[in-house]
Structure 1
Amino acid sequence: MSTSLPRTTRAVRLAVRPTGLPTAADLQVVEVPVAEPGPGEILVRNRYFLVFPGLRTLMGDETDGVPLPPLRAGDTLFGPAVGEVVAAGEGASARPGETVVHLSGWREFALLPADGYAVAGDRLPDPVAHLSTGSAAYGALTRLAPVRDGETVFVTGAAGATGVLAGQIARLSGAGRVIGSTGSVVKAERLRAEFGYDAVVVRGAASIGEQLAKAAPEGVDVVVDTVGGEQLTAAVAAARPGARFALLGALSGQLSADRAGGSAPAEIDTYRLVVRGVSVRGYRGADHPDVPAEWEERFGVWLRDGRIRFPYVRVRGIDRAPAALQELLEGRHFGTVVVEP
């Protein structure tokens, strides 16, 4: 290992399992040793890591079926990250100076096994773009609920990391009208002014159902749902014949202080689903292994020619990472949230 590297570094651990929604006080930044890479391994200095709501579920009591390991007190948090290789063991497939993507975020340095990373390449013009969750939105709108020219698309959680891209992808796919939902008037104005949404319903301003009926008097054809709950209920009520629903998340339950993070009940009119021939499908990335590469190629082209915008909030310093998670869960940010350690 280069003598210029520190012997110790910092990482974020779960101090105690939270009661309700996690707060910054439930996490702690600790000092840990920096290990030298062995054969096939690489040592990476993380440049950015993603702050994502799924961590709330991993800290809770409802993790059955979740394709990631649960977090217990004392565990280091993890998640998507982009970093620079600073040292490589014999036989490693990445060399110092290269940028890689991996799942060992929430630490300044990460020691990665041979199968624990991928070289980032140059398809995306901004390294932070590798942390975009737009692949799920793209997969939903091309595999589960393809948009036909002129159709009306409703995106719940439109100011979130996935939703803000879903609306733009829908427009690029031919949508005639794009409607979103959010919990903030300020966010709603930004979605309309900067991201091409024709209308935005605001949670808490009035009945979601009434607002959606006004925004889409003829109904909706495609729904990209990241929230569930009353917003899914309203979307079903507004569904046109043959409408397609793609479910990407369930933040209404995941971010509820009264739940454990792994359930999100919603009341929907199943009679309407039947008589209008509505399809409702959940999107799982594992079912569509070809989507990430296809998305990355198109995302890079769209970013470079200005047809899509990728908003993100950059939080500087690993010491601020615990607060960044709390702020995300409280809905304080717009778009993707990353920490620059």
Structure 2
Amino acid sequence: MVKAKKFVLRKIFDGFPKKEDMSLEVEELPPLKDGEFLAEAAYLSVDPYMRAYVKPETWVFSEEAFIGGQVAKIIESKNPKFPVGKYVVGSFGWRTHTISNGNATLVSTPTILLPDIGDLPVSVALGVLGMPGNTAYFGLLELCQPKPGETVVVSGAAGAVGSLVGQIAKIKGCTVIGIAGSDEKGKWLTGELGFDHFINYKTDDVQSKLKKLAPKGVDCYFDNVGGELSSIVIYQMNKFGRISVCGSIANYNDTKRSQASVIQPPVVSQQLKMEGFIVTRWINRWMEGINQNMQWIKEGKLKYEETVTEGFENMFEAFTDMLKGKNVGKAVVKA
């Protein structure tokens, strides 16, 4: 019998997540049935959406592992579509071993065999060649539809999604301004990834610096953070500007509703288009995004970074470090 370790949520997060909100448990797995396979986690993902999903009004407690994606190696199989030795990408949650039949679990991202990624590490299937990469690809190109010469602003720019959004906007011929929380991240964005400008929201006057960097206004805004920061950007947008709302990490840990400037005036006067999305909207085009991002990597047009935490037992610390913005690029845990 195989024993799996798993993290189970025991208490709804009240403000910032606490270690005692979760428990690390051991589960004995049953023998495989026909059509199933057993996968052993290689890398696990920690993402901002995990915090957003835990709400008192929507979360249903169970003995299932906490939500999340992972790339895992198939070590036993009774399913010819998932042979032993191959890697699979699936939403198996925070657990070391998983029995699956290949159907989507926990959240509706597809369970797929890892495509041929050449010499790239398998962990990229959780980042640039996975859900975050597709979030950047579809969220920017489908909703913002950036045009050459336009100005694109990206908040949360040094994260798994934002760092890719800015590079894709550059590929499309745009001027890109990234907003993040440290000068070190800013040097990475402009020096390594090719962003044109950087704003440190912790030390800069965002409103005045944005006016200086984008004197003709902002055409597209990819919003990862929400809050007052996003209101400031929206007030400087051009007519018929487009806003792609990916997340609001600035407010995920608030225990009461935060206050931000009302955005309806610029939305109306500038005739802005503002649309939120969940990336599984494009589930039927999933491999399109992965293949295009992989092509851009091969062409040297798209770079990625990973912040790797060693050890499955450190999942919670990796999760909270990510929520604090300590990661650069994609945060993953090596099991």
Q: Please, what TM-score do these two structures have when normalized by structure 2?
A: 0.90
Aligned residue for 2:266, secondary structure, equals helix
Match of 1:3 in 2: none
Deviation at 1:160, TM superposition (A): 1.2
CA distance in 1, matches of 2:2, 2:140: 47
Aligned residue for 1:288, secondary structure, equals helix
Match of 1:242 in 2: 240
Deviation at 1:23, TM superposition (A): 2.6
Q: 1:7 to 1:289 in 2, by over 3 A?
A: closer
Residue-pair matches, total: 324
Q: 1:10 to 1:322 in 2, by over 3 A?
A: same
1:314 is the counterpart of 2:301: no
Match of 1:279 in 2: 273
Q: 1:212 to 1:268 in 2, by over 3 A?
A: farther
CA distance in 2, matches of 1:54, 1:10: 22
Deviation at 1:84, TM superposition (A): 0.9
Deviation at 1:193, TM superposition (A): 1.4
**Per-residue deviation, residues 14-73 of structure 1 (Å, max 9, x unmatched):** 24333211133322322221332211111001111110122212333253xxxxxx3537
CA distance in 2, matches of 1:86, 1:286: 28
Aligned residue for 2:331, secondary structure, equals strand
Q: Is the 8 A contact 1:208 1:230 kept in 2?
A: no
Aligned residue for 1:252, secondary structure, equals helix
Aligned residue for 2:283, secondary structure, equals coil
Match of 1:101 in 2: 89
Deviation at 1:185, TM superposition (A): 2.2
Counterpart of 2:218, as a letter, is V
Deviation at 1:290, TM superposition (A): 4.0
CA distance in 2, matches of 1:157, 1:62: 27
Match of 1:128 in 2: 123
Match of 2:178 in 1: 180
**Per-residue deviation, residues 225-256 of structure 1 (Å, max 9, x unmatched):** 111111211111110122111111111221x3
- Once the two structures are overlaid, the 10-residue window that deviates more, 72-81 or 306-315, is 72-81
Q: Is the 8 A contact 1:179 1:198 kept in 2?
A: yes
Mapping of 1:1-16 within 5 angstroms?
A: 7-16=2-11
Aligned residue for 1:82, secondary structure, equals strand
Give the superposed CA RMSD: 2.0
Match of 1:231 in 2: 229
Aligned residue for 2:115, secondary structure, equals coil
Q: Is the 8 A contact 1:253 1:265 kept in 2?
A: no
Aligned residue for 1:308, secondary structure, equals coil
- Once the two structures are overlaid, the 10-residue window that deviates more, 162-171 or 14-23, is 14-23
Counterpart of 1:325, as a letter, is F
The correspondence for 1:203, drawn from 197, 201, 214, is 201
1:86 is the counterpart of 2:86: no
Q: Please, what TM-score do these two structures have when normalized by structure 1?
A: 0.88
Aligned residue for 1:324, secondary structure, equals helix
Q: Is the 8 A contact 2:190 2:197 kept in 1?
A: yes
Aligned residue for 1:21, secondary structure, equals coil
Q: Which runs of 5+ in 1 are unaligned?
A: 1-5, 64-69
Mapping of 1:1-341 within 5 angstroms?
A: 7-63=2-58, 70=59, 72=61, 75-89=64-78, 91-116=79-104, 117-123=111-117, 125-132=120-127, 133-175=132-174, 177-254=175-252, 256-259=253-256, 266-341=260-335
Counterpart of 1:183, as a letter, is G
Deviation at 1:86, TM superposition (A): 0.6
Q: 1:101 to 1:140 in 2, by over 3 A?
A: same
Higher relative contact order (CA 8 A, sep 6+): 1
Deviation at 1:74, TM superposition (A): 5.1
Deviation at 1:107, TM superposition (A): 1.2
Aligned residue for 1:299, secondary structure, equals helix
Aligned residue for 1:289, secondary structure, equals helix
CA distance in 2, matches of 1:199, 1:264: 28
Q: Is the 8 A contact 1:24 1:326 kept in 2?
A: no
Deviation at 1:123, TM superposition (A): 4.5
Instruction: Kindly report structure 1 stretches of 4+ aligned residues shifted beyond 6 Å.
Output: none
Deviation at 1:77, TM superposition (A): 0.9
Q: Is the 8 A contact 2:228 2:259 kept in 1?
A: no
